[in-house]
Every structure is written in C-alpha cells, then in structure tokens.
C-alpha cells in the first residue's frame, strides 16, 4: 500500500492571505529584447557604486548596522532634518508595509487611489486591514477630493502615489495641500515618491518642500529607480519621529544590508550622483520624446512624470502586450485596463514606436496634451 501524498491543503492559513494572488514578476525579456516591465534603470551601476558594493561584500560575515546610521545622517543633511526623522528600509515597499502595519489593524481602512502601485492591496490585506480603493480621474490622476471624502472613522492610512505608478500622472502641490487640509491630522498620510527624481512638471508636489509642515505626513523615496539600486533593496522615509519609531517597531530586524547601504552611500557621493542624475535627465528626455511620438500617433497617453508611460489599451491590453512581446518588448500589462512601459534603452524606443504605430486605433478620447 502506498502512503498518501503529503498535502498542505489542510494546514490552517489565514484565508485572506491564502487567497492573495502570488507575486507576478514580469516575464524575462527574449534574447536581444528589452525588459520594460519593472521601471528599472537600464544602466548598470557606476564604477564607484560597484566598488563600494564589492568592498561591503567582503565583510558579509558581519551583521549590518541595524539602523543604517551613516546613511540616515547623509540623508538627514540633504533634507534638512535630523537623523531620527529618517528611516531606511529594504526598499520603499518594505517601508510601506511597515507604516501600514504600524497604523492599521484588523477592521481599519487604508485609502488609496486605483489603479496605483500593485503592492498596496496586498500590504493592506497582510496587515488585516481593508482597502478602500478610490478610482482615478478620467485623466488617470488621483481624485484627491474623492479620496478625502472616502475617509471615515475607520481610516488609519491614506497613500498618495506621485507620480502615480502605473499611470504616470503627478499630484500637484495645490491639490496636495488642499487635500492635507481635509485629512484629520491624526490619520497617517504616506506620500509615495518612488519616481520623484524623474518629475519635471513645475506644479507637481515635492515632498521635500512639505517636511516639517504636517504632523501626520511621511514621505517615501527609493534608491531603486533614479539611483539604479533596485537589486540591493534600499529606500527611505522622512517624517515625524514618533511615526517612524512605530514603523521601526514593525520591521523584521536587520533587513537593510550593509551591501545596500554601502551602495546608497556611494551613489550620493558628488561625482557618482552627478553621473546618475545625468542618466535620469537622459531618461526624462527619452520619456518626453517617446510620449510625444505616441501622442502624435494617436495614443491617448496621460501626463508621464515617472520613468514609464501608460497606454490605456482597455480591452485590447492582452493583444497589444502580446504584439510587443513578439517584437522583443516585455511590458507590464494590466488586462482590461492598460499597459505600463518603462523608459529603457534607446534602441527600445524605435521598436516601441514601430509596433505601437501599427496598433493604434482612432481613440474616442482623442490624444491627451
């Protein structure tokens, strides 16, 4: 008689966790193709960053400094705050999870715009809280008035993503200030600025200008995008000490590695940073060129302030994504909604324009300006 196959089906898991969709990392790009599905920086690290990471790798028998003090000090200096007002995490997604856990418990609500960063719903569910997803406006930006209206006694956190991933639209300074005026100051607002360095819109909100002005505001940024360190996982939050302490308490200890902080510290040294910001400027120029060309083709592309553009392909999403894939481009498709395409290698732009030029359909919305 053969023993029954061991099965984990009977193990009692939290049902809401077991029901979460598994993490989908984009398909790898085909040979000679382009991976434009994760908003990564297309350049490898600058030599000084690579050297710093290699040097830190030689000491990985030791635990890292649990509070990443050296990096917090540097960041505090540039943002004009104290090191205690800076929290470093293993990517800003870890920090988002920490803040949600710190503020929202079962029965509480977390308000965010939708569609936005894919991680938000899962982080809220893991905390045991409930998502309140407020639809984006027709121009694919946050509807901050509707978000303020959605705040109830149960609301503990509101997440504002600017520029919004995946649609690219930035919240304006005026919109944000009006919104903060409507949010009770005992509710935590997280301003997720993962793409801040790519923003060129003069009216866009800039968390840096708001530091110290609100007792309930935390600004989140990352080294993953503009600074090209997605692989080592390092991001940071700036905000009131009491809120940061609570978020610190929810972290798994020692999550930020010495390799990550060494990379980040090297990336903000003047020479390395100047080169990294030149790359950001090149990506911004490429983004503008790509967006303008797509709009000229007839695609209703919304404002693009990140390192990506949004194609509102609706029901055609799977078909368009497949055609891009056949041409060697992996983009992030959200079936029924749209496709997010990262601004990557120069050569990818020609391929994108060729394929998308063949697929454009006269739009009912007309091109965005």
Which spans of this chain sit near ligand PLP (rule: CB under 6 A)? 39, 91-93, 117, 161, 165, 192, 194, 222, 224, 230, 235
For the CB of residue 63, give the shortest distance to ligand PLP in the complex, in Å: 22
Over its C-alpha atoms, the chain yields an Rg (Å, rounded) of 21
**Each residue of 261-276: b (16+ CB within 10 Å) or e?**
bbbbbbbbeeebbebb
Specify the residue, 298 or 334, whose C-beta has the smaller distance to ligand PLP.
Answer: 334
Measure the CA–CA gap between 299 and 313, rounded to whole angstroms.
9
Q: Is the peptide bond before 163 cis (omega within 30 degrees of 0)?
A: yes
Specify the residue, 11 or 252, whose C-beta has the smaller distance to ligand PLP.
Answer: 252
Scanning 86-170, the segments in alpha helix (DSSP H) are 92-103, 119-126, 144-149
Specify the residue, 208 or 323, whose C-beta has the smaller distance to ligand PLP.
Answer: 208
- Which residues, at least 6 apart from 260, have a Cβ–Cβ distance to it below 8 Å? 90, 223, 229, 232, 233, 234
Output the six-digit token pair for 191.
Answer: 């301003």
Specify the residue, 258 or 260, whose C-beta has the smaller distance to ligand PLP.
Answer: 260
Measure the CA–CA gap between 82 and 76, rounded to whole angstroms.
5
For the CB of residue 11, give the shortest distance to ligand PLP in the complex, in Å: 29
Measure the CA–CA gap between 255 and 70, rounded to whole angstroms.
16
Output the six-digit token pair for 346.
Answer: 């120069």
258-267 and 69-79 helices, crossing angle to 10°: 30
Specify the residue, 43 or 297, whose C-beta has the smaller distance to ligand PLP.
Answer: 43
Specify the residue, 31 or 252, whose C-beta has the smaller distance to ligand PLP.
Answer: 252
DSSP-derived secondary structure letter, 185? T
For the CB of residue 326, give the shortest distance to ligand PLP in the complex, in Å: 25
For the CB of residue 221, give the shortest distance to ligand PLP in the complex, in Å: 8
For the CB of residue 104, give the shortest distance to ligand PLP in the complex, in Å: 17
């Amino acid at each position: 008689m053969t023993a029954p196959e061991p099965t984990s089906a009977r193990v009692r898991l939290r049902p809401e966790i077991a029901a979460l969709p598994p993490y989908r990392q984009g398909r790898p790009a085909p040979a000679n193709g382009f991976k434009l599905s994760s908003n990564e920086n297309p350049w490898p690290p600058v030599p000084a960053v690579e050297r710093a990471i290699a040097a830190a790798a030689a000491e990985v028998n030791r635990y890292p400094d649990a509070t990443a003090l050296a990096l917090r000090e540097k960041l505090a200096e540039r943002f004009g705050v104290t090191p205690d007002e800076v929290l470093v995490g293993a990517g800003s997604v870890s920090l988002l999870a920490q803040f949600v856990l710190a503020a929202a418990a079962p029965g509480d609500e977390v308000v965010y715009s939708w569609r936005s960063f894919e991680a938000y719903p899962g982080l809220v569910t893991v905390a045991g809280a409930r998502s309140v997803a407020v639809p984006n406006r027709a121009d694919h930006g946050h509807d901050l008035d509707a978000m303020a209206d959605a705040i109830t006694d149960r609301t503990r956190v509101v997440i504002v993503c600017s520029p919004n991933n995946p649609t690219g639209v930035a919240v304006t300074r005026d919109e944000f200030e009006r919104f903060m005026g409507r949010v009770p100051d005992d509710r935590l607002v997280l301003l997720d600025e993962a793409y801040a360095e790519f923003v060129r819109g003069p009216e866009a909100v800039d968390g840096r200008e708001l530091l110290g002005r609100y007792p309930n505001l935390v600004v989140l940024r990352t080294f993953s995008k503009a600074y090209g360190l997605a692989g080592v996982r390092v991001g940071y939050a700036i905000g009131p000490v009491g809120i940061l302490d609570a978020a610190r308490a929810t972290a798994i200890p020692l999550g930020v590695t010495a390799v990550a902080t060494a990379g980040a510290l090297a990336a903000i040294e003047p020479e390395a940073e100047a080169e990294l910001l030149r790359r950001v400027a090149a990506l911004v120029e490429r983004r503008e060129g790509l967006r303008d060309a797509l709009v000229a083709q007839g695609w209703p592309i919304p404002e693009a302030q990140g390192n990506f553009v949004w194609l509102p392909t609706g029901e055609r999403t799977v078909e368009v994504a497949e055609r891009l894939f056949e041409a060697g481009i992996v983009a992030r498709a959200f079936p029924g909604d749209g496709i997010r395409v990262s601004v990557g290698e120069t050569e990818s732009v020609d391929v994108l324009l060729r394929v998308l030029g063949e697929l454009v359909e006269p739009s009912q919305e007309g091109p965005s300006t």
